[in-house]
Amino acid sequence: MIINEYCKDCQIRRNLNKYPSSAPAFKIEAYQHGVMEIIAHCDGLSTPQISEKMYALRLEHFGSAKDYTETKRHFNALMLGLLPYMQEQVANADDPLRMALQYSMVGNFIDFGIMDDVDENELRSKLEAAKYIAIDPGMIQSFSREVEKAHRLVFFTDNCGEIVTDKLLISVLHGLNPQLQVTVIVRGKPVVNDATMEDAFQVGMQDVAQSVIGNGAGMPGNVIGAISSEAMDEISNADVLVSKGQGNFEGLSGCGLNIFYLFLCKCDAFTQRFNVPRFTGVMTRESEIPKV
């Protein structure tokens, strides 16, 4: 998905005044000029690639960025503590796959790239209400059929904590197809609270996936051709792919691969595109994405 004018304006709003309060005026002026230069020359790129450039620009002018290490560990531990409850709900559900998909979507709420703070009480409430998320039965059936006949599946993760719900979903997919070879792709470098190898191993992702790899990049998403050759090889050999979160949708949609997308709509561009209220869970497929 190539960046559009609406998302360009959003990038300006989110980044133009994103600098330390103690920064001197000359650095602020140079930084803001850099923000506008990035936007002026971003045609043909996706939002995750622009975000990576903005992140690098802040590092260049202001040094180290905010460290989310402890925040990530906290939310990983929080969600691991809730995992037995979610596993029980999935096991007792009339449709375990549907329930696992719903939890995986709710996990996408843990996003410090969109929100300054993640309310744990609201997160718990959304998990309690996950079973009410509407998913087209035909979409679930199509996904189930693809998983059942697949040999290899690639799972693009998004945020810390959220990956616990992804782990749960992957375990359900193995129930549908015990021979399925799953490769989980996380971020190659730290970026906000996105999941990296450290997070994947903290939550035990290696217990359900046959392979866990980084994508070699530090952008908040995956973009075909802009990630490591190792990740590209896995993608090329996959029969079906699962993409979590808005960033991955922005980076991957339009690539033509057999991808199923799961996310919460957390910004105006997504709520308008999918015609739903904010924080609505969406499951869609590459071949069925609404045009803009």
Please tell me whether residues 51 and 180 are part of one structural domain: no
Within 13 Å, how many C-alpha atoms sit on residue 116's CB side?
A: 2
Strand order in the sheet with 152-156: 211-214, 181-186, 152-156, 240-244, 259-264, 281-285
DSSP string computed for 41-71: T-TT-BHHHHHHHHHHHHHHHH-SPPP-HHH
Task: Please tell me the predicted confidence (pLDDT) of residue 135.
Answer: 97
- The structural domain count of the chain equals 2
Please tell me whether residues 47 and 89 are part of one structural domain: no
In sequence order, the β-bridge partners of residue 241 are 154, 259
Q: Is the pLDDT of residue 288 over 70?
A: yes
Please tell me whether residues 20 and 79 are part of one structural domain: no
How does pLDDT run across 4-39, given as a tens digit for each residue? 888 889 899 989 998 998 999 999 999 999 999 999
Please tell me whether residues 46 and 168 are part of one structural domain: no
The predicted model gives 168-193 an average pLDDT of 97
d(CA 199, CA 43): 33
Domain containing 21: what range? 5-62
Task: Please tell me the predicted confidence (pLDDT) of residue 1.
Answer: 67
Please report how the helices 5-15 and 25-40 are oriented relative to each other, as an axis angle in degrees rounded to 10: 170
Please tell me whether residues 34 and 94 are part of one structural domain: no
**Nearest one of 184, 182, 180, 181 to 156, comparing CA atoms:** 184
Please tell me whether residues 34 and 138 are part of one structural domain: no
Cβ pair 212, 186 in contact under 8 A: yes
Q: Is the pLDDT of residue 244 over 90?
A: yes
Angle at 153 between CA 85 and CA 123, to 5 degrees: 30
Please tell me whether residues 177 and 56 are part of one structural domain: no
Please tell me whether residues 239 and 124 are part of one structural domain: yes
Can you point out the beta strands (E) in 101-247?
A: 152-156, 181-186, 211-214, 240-244
Please tell me whether residues 150 and 263 are part of one structural domain: yes
**pLDDT category of residue 2 using cuts at 50, 70 and 90:** confident
Please tell me whether residues 47 and 160 are part of one structural domain: no
How does pLDDT run across 146-168, given as a tens digit for each residue? 999 999 999 999 999 999 999 99
Q: Is the pLDDT of residue 96 over 80?
A: yes
